[in-house]
Amino acid sequence: MNNRRKKPTEPQRRGRHPRPADRLRAKHKAPAGGTAESSSGPGIRLQRFLAAAGCGSRRQCETFIAEGRVEVDGQVVTQLGTKVDPDSQHVSLDGESVRTARLSYFAVHKPPGVLSTSRDPSGRTRVIDLIPSDQRLYNVGRLDKSSEGLILVTNDGDLAQRLTHPKFGIEKKYLVLVVGHPHRDQLDQLERGVHLAEGLAKASRAEIKKRAHGGTWLEITLQEGRNREIRRLLARLGHKVIRLIRVAVGPVQLGALAVGEHRKLTAVEVQRLKSWKPPRRPDTRQRRMDKRSPS
């Protein structure tokens, strides 16, 4: 009997469940040795070509391939790692031809009730519906239906991948109105971390901005993007969220952009997003000591 233990996968080493994209890669991994049209030979990986053409982030494009929605020269391709030559081969997604597109970048002020999803069978208003364009656009990351504020929209799959991948540490800043008056110790707990169902989650910064009758405005900065993370974190501390507004994504600010309106990002903003490095911050204890020490 072979008692050798199987080598753990990378997600197992990190002590968490594999992401959906990790499972897709494992299921549709190219066979050892590959083929001329899969993991070796000339051309560009199919998911990268789709992302560059504005079909979605690279991770979304991997899902499209695995779901059998992509064809190359009329043949459905489901194997991740397949390479294509855009100059000599025809690629289609959901029956529509895919070609490299002019890259576009927008900031949108999402109103409450608008969905940040690419598809909605019920036909409800989506963030991308707020931008009149004949390009295939998609939002970068999400805000839940009840939340509002800044969301970026683009057809640059490589940048979308960078902005949504946790290793790049893109900061998102929120103004949050909660019921009650959180204590400083509770905000320190947010920065140290709170256990949610999928593991430890924390804010990189949490500050009190203004106290109002029956509630408090907080400014919370995250480098993560879990589903309804701020609402769940504050609920664990006993404070229900009344209103949540995202006011910044990395160097891009919501500013005076009106609800439901959009604007093009400047060349400087795009370059700063592409070269973003999270600012170094002093540890929580040191910041608290600095704040409480007399000037």
Question: Residue 161 and residue 51: Cα distance in Å, rounded?
Answer: 9
CB 131 within 8 A of CB 155: no
* Integer angstrom CA distances of residue 208 from 16, 166, 292: 32, 26, 14
Instruction: Say whether 224 sits in a helix, a strand or coil.
Output: coil
Per the annotation, the verdict on 185 as an active-site residue is no
Which is the catalytic residue, given 22, 85, 144, 188?
Answer: 144
The C-alpha angle with vertex 123 and arms to 118 and 126, in degrees rounded to 5, equals 40
C-alpha–C-alpha distance, residues 164 and 141, integer Å: 6
Show Cβ contacts of residue 235 under 8 Å, excluding neighbours closer than 6 positions: 241
Which sequence positions are flagged as catalytic?
144
